[in-house]
Structure 1
């Protein structure tokens, strides 16, 4: 087969130097048949493609080999076997040929299949404020020296390509609500349409085409922000390709090398600043003379105005144990003692837990994301101490209880008294009715007087509640008598004489 350099030499010798075919054959030591091809055609390169590949031994086995190759492609990436294994399986069925024939046939089979299944896409364009895309990713960071896998919520405005990124410990529904609220507050508004994959926190059922049964709470959130949700076709990530691309971009530019922070809040503050810096430094892919940040600022006028935070909680019922505890997400939280024996509703927010019973809040705590932890509020157990004052000394909720300084001082002094626990319970119980600031002031006054008795403190508290004598009732001017009555005692004398 003539190489390109040899073809060029033949053409120059024939057309430029005027040499004959025989002379060129002698100089280049080529056959006359080969040399004639170059000047007789305008081709500058020649290639040979075999029209028919003889397969004397593999021919009868091509159908079986097609089946083995197709079955292998249909397996997951972890379960796929090598071509050598397929060759061995074919040999086990009776094939007597060599491996090279199988290898060449498998290469041509892959080319045919890729030509059939090759995906083509249509470029998309979005109007300002028309749509955003939402997705999740998993990243690894160092928080307070510990390696933690976090869930990162990604949102991207389709027109300006403005990104928003926020990290969470979970990928649950309340985190989805919080991510939308923080994103819309960051953007200064929402779009009229949101594009999602079929995440379980949003979609309950998938029907034919674009029809979906959305989660009721997710629909409430979309109704609050005036957003129309649109779900992609299952396993079709290219339908929200912008945010899919953002996941890789953020991973390379934000989380590599591994980020080191002290808390999740510090990480989120840094991510928000990083999104702004990245947008200001990147040109817009379609508007070359403007950055992403500049196009975003123009798009803000077309966004749906931000309507304030959505009450984004995930509610589930729960039972209250006799120790005033409720279990949620592998942790326990205390509730008011009055809630024992009846079910409560847990409202889980992204950062806190709210416990309600018959519309009344019976507990509120910062949310814990570990496993097996217990979060106590000692004030929930104060009513129980009225019946069991001895529990104050060894009760788990009261260990390391941070009380105001004056109340803490009286507690230390009462530990030496025989009935110190009972007196302290009376003081703490007063805080439930009079309020902690009033009890703190009464304790401080008692300490100034050099006493720490509960009776003295409660007496001071009672005096602070005494409002003094009732005010006198003044007679309005309209009710004053114009002729005041005059007492006439002589009338009694006349009655006595008549008798």
Structure 2
């Protein structure tokens, strides 16, 4: 093969020096056909190895027949059908090259989000163990993080919630929407037990979720199973949180976690996004303007129940017992709790107000309630016990007790 330097020199002598082909061949000691080939070539000569073929070439027609009939047939099944006994690596490589020819095209659509139209929600389970007080810690499976991303502006928000129950999830959901200041027209969820699931070719929502969305006058859409592209924005946010938010951070409790993630997302929302060409803060105003306004009356969220206060003047909520003022023992009371606190009402009056305990199996008592219960017990015991008779009480001689117990001798001379 002609060397690159000879090729370059031939072209220089012919084009720059004007030497004829015969003279160039004589000067460089090559044939005239070699000179002609070098002058016709547009680029320098390069070595190309002649292909030797592959052991799969002879069975390729049979592979094509199988793929034409069954485009998704696995390579292992193809090997069995054609009686392949040699290397599976080369066969799998050839099947991978041929399969796209027989599969129907699957183009990826470019999703365009309209202002105010969609927000995606999901639960994120960070790989951490968080202290929750009372000497307890809870893992991510027990303490999920509710996340939100608006489609048009890419505005992100998140809040740690105590559990995946409908009461806590709806309370956290409302907290995110209230912080946003508006309600997107479509709220997209993956299949979540407290929200709903995909069934029978449509979204099937729980009764609690139906009441929640009815108050907001919006639509809740459950994604089809095995369709991660439908909520790609929220999935990318979770990946970003794990790579950029968690590393190097420690948390003293749920309140500290929520404070840190809120401050961090506030900074993230000011950063320019490549897909937008601007920051979410530059779009959020237009996004909110096209959303629905918040309802005049907040939806019913959190824990709400009515019961009669028992004699021990404690109510149980999410595995913990909270004290109530004993003055309303036996009365009908209303227990109202959210992510932060637990309140007990009687006839519209607050008779207990506690901070929500995220630990389990705890007894939360207010000093005022304990003192009031002690005073009521003392008063009741005083009413039931008869008063001593008036006048001086007789003091019995100790010898009378000795005689009654048989501790004196027969002569009456005292203790034996």
Q: Which TM-score band applies after superposition, normalised by the shorter structure?
A: 0.5 to 0.7
Q: Are positions 1:297 and 2:288 aligned together?
A: no
| Per-residue deviation, residues 447-484 of structure 1 (Å, max 9, x unmatched) | xxxxxxxx9xxxxxxxxxxxxxxxxxxxxxxxxxxxxx
Gaps of 5+ in 1: 74-85, 378-400, 415-420, 430-454, 456-499
**1:261, 1:279 → 2: CA distance?**
22
Instruction: Give the direction of change, closer, same or farther, for the CA distance of 1:16–1:183 in structure 2 (3 Å limit).
Output: same
Q: How does 1:180-329 map to 2 (within 5 A)?
A: 180-204=173-197, 206-208=199-201, 211-257=202-248, 259-280=249-270, 282-288=271-277, 290-307=278-295, 309-313=298-302
- Give the equivalent residue in structure 2 for 1:109: 95
Q: Secondary structure at the match of 1:285?
A: coil
The alignment's TM-score, normalised by the length of structure 1, stands at: 0.55
Q: Distance in 2 between matches of 1:248 and 1:300?
A: 26
Structure 1 residue 160 corresponds to structure 2 residue 153: yes
> Could you tell me how far apart the structure 2 residues matched to 1:7 and 1:306 are?
78
Equivalent pair of 1:134/1:196 in contact (CA under 8 Å) = yes
| Root mean square deviation of aligned Cα | 5.4
Does 1:172 pair with 2:165? yes
**Higher RCO (CA 8 Å, separation ≥ 6 residues):** 2
Count of equivalent residues: 363
- State the Cα distance separating 1:138 from its structure 2 match: 0.7
Spell out the pairing of 1:41-440 with structure 2 (5 A cutoff).
Answer: 42=42, 50=51, 53-55=54-56, 97=86, 99=87, 102-113=88-99, 116=103, 119-141=106-128, 143-144=130-131, 146=137, 148-149=139-140, 150-204=143-197, 206-208=199-201, 211-257=202-248, 259-280=249-270, 282-288=271-277, 290-307=278-295, 309-313=298-302, 338=330, 349-351=338-340, 368-371=357-360, 373-375=361-363, 402-403=367-368, 423-425=378-380
Q: Are the aligned partners of 2:21 and 2:32 in contact in 1 as well (CA < 8 Å)? A: no
Give 1:235 deviation, angstroms.
0.8
Shift of 1:164: 0.4
> What SS class does the counterpart of residue 144 from structure 2 fall into?
strand
CA distance in structure 2 between the partners assigned to 1:422 and 1:316 by the alignment: 28
The answer to whether the 8 Å contact 2:323/2:369 transfers is: no
Unaligned runs of 5+ in 2: 15-19, 388-416
How far apart in 2 are the matches of 1:278 and 1:172? 29
Which has the larger helix fraction? 1
Q: TM-score, normalized by length of structure 2?
A: 0.65
Query: Once the two structures are superposed, what CA deviation does each residue of 1:109-146 show, in whole Å capped at 9, x if it has no partner?
Result: 23334674885322122222111111111103454495
C-alpha distance 95-285 of structure 1, shift in aligned 2 (>3 A): closer
Q: Can you list the C-alpha shifts for 1:388-424, whole angstroms capped at 9, x where unaligned? A: xxxxxxxxxxxxx72489x58x96xx9xxxxxx9634
